[in-house]
Amino acid sequence: SRPSYVLGLVGEGISASLTPAMQEREGRESGLQVSYRIIDAERRGFGADDLADLLDWAQRLGFDGLNVTHPFKQAVLPLLDELSDDAADLGAVNTVVFRDGRRLGRNTDWSGYGAAFRAALPDAVRDRAVVVGAGGAGVAVGYGLLDQGAEHVAVLDSDPERAEACAIRLAKRYGDHRVTPVTDLGRALDEAGGVVNATPVGMNGHPGSSVPEGLLRPDLWVSDVVYFPLDTELVRAARARGCRVVTGGGMAVHQAVGAFELFTGRVPDAARMTRHFAEL
Ligand code: NAD
């Protein structure tokens, strides 16, 4: 019989997530039996205080692993037996693997962003970049870009203290000279090859763009982490201006690619998962 895996996604407001469909279909295509459940804290009525019980029960019920998303990526840290160095440095876990009675914390957001960016714009991986938004997504994007070889990342947030905290985290791993917190987006863009929106601005219910249209030059690449919808206001403005564009879909797919491998030990077919995602 086919090896079987029971997996889930724990987070808030995740009922429309495409991850279950991606993981289950890749499982089928790889000859595995993958069941992937949505465990929505809002719908099930639990919060961060219940996370310890939830992990206990998932383990006792035979789950092989969980993806963890907003707002639990930080809260899950103290509940794990082992953390990868990158997850510890990021201060966030999006993948928990249950193995031999132990809980292993991993992070495939940053590596997923890096892989997605390299797949989309391989010639731009060394460019200087500006990251707008210094929350969980911004830190992951910064790690992904620097890991792929970006010369420098400037971090901007409407809350300057968050930009500074993010820059300190990034600099700890990649060096002070490669990261700067900034407050003037126009000036930062003058020196950059591209810009990433890592704020929620542009997603359904958050109209607008974190990058004013007037700052977009045709020679800039523009990347968005938002993927509900894929065609955000920023993405549409950038395309109209002639910029090269990387939508948030790539990160969503490649974090799942990384998690699939951690859960099953099999390297999934990233191109096939990208095609599936596009069909969903
Ligand atoms: P967060 O709340 O932790 O951080 C958002 C940050 O953006 C905050 O620090 C906030 O101050 C800042 N901000 C908000 N509006 C701003 C503006 N106009 N200009 C500058 N800074 C601004 O949120 P997060 O967890 O980092 O998530 C951000 C977005 O990333 C969400 O929309 C989420 O859905 C998306 N995301 C996508 C993927 C993917 O796979 N594509 C993965 C993770 C997160």
Per-residue pLDDT, 165: 97
Residue 71 Cα distances to 13, 122, 226, 257, angstroms: 10, 32, 16, 22
Q: Whose CA is nearest to atom 10 of ligand 1?
A: 133
The two three-digit tokens of residue 112, written as one number:
């997923």
b/e burial code for range 222-261 (CB count within 10 A of at least 16 → b): bbbbbbeeeebbbbebbeebebbbbbbbbbbbbbbbbbbe
Classify residue 191 as exposed, middle or buried by CB count within 10 Å of its CB (0-12, 13-18, 19+).
exposed
DSSP 8-state assignment for residue 232: -
Sign of the alpha-carbon dihedral angle for 25, 26, 28, 34: negative
What mean pLDDT is predicted for residues 37-47?
A: 96
Per-residue pLDDT tens over the stretch 138-164: 999 999 999 999 999 999 999 999 999
The continuous run of DSSP H or E covering 46 comes out as none
What mean pLDDT is predicted for residues 85-108?
A: 97
Residue 256 is which amino acid?
A
Is residue 131 lining ligand 1, measured as CB closer than 6 Å?
Answer: no
- ipTM higher than the 0.85 cut: yes
Per-residue pLDDT tens over the stretch 104-151: 999 999 999 999 999 999 999 999 999 999 999 999 999 999 999 999
For residues 19 and 277, what is the distance between their CA atoms, to the nearest angstrom? 9
Ligand 1 atom nearest residue 199's Cα: 7
For residues 253 and 108, what is the distance between their CA atoms, to the nearest angstrom? 10
Under the phi-then-psi rule, with left for phi > 0, alpha for psi from -120 to 50, and beta for the rest, what region is 222? beta
Model-wide pTM > 0.90: yes
For residues 85 and 23, what is the distance between their CA atoms, to the nearest angstrom? 25
The continuous run of DSSP H or E covering 116 comes out as helix 109-120
Per-residue pLDDT, 223: 98
Per-residue pLDDT, 1: 82
Per-residue pLDDT tens over the stretch 44-59: 999 999 999 999 999 9
Is residue 227 lining ligand 1, measured as CB closer than 6 Å?
Answer: yes
Q: Whose CA is nearest to atom 37 of ligand 1?
A: 225
Under the phi-then-psi rule, with left for phi > 0, alpha for psi from -120 to 50, and beta for the rest, what region is 265? left
Task: For residue 174, name the pLDDT band (cuts at 50, 70, 90).
Answer: very high
For residues 247 and 176, what is the distance between their CA atoms, to the nearest angstrom? 29
Q: Identify which of 157, 201, 211 to mutate to test ligand 1's pocket (most ligand atoms within 8 A of the CB).
A: 157
Q: Ligand 1 centre and the CA of 226: distance in Å?
A: 8
The per-residue pLDDT of the chain, averaged, comes to 97
Tell me: pLDDT of 95 over 90: yes
Q: Ligand 1 centre and the CA of 181: distance in Å?
A: 16
For residues 202 and 239, what is the distance between their CA atoms, to the nearest angstrom? 15
Token pair 């714009």: residue:
121
Domains for the chain: give ranges and CATH numbers.
4-107+251-279 (3.40.50.10860), 110-247 (3.40.50.720)
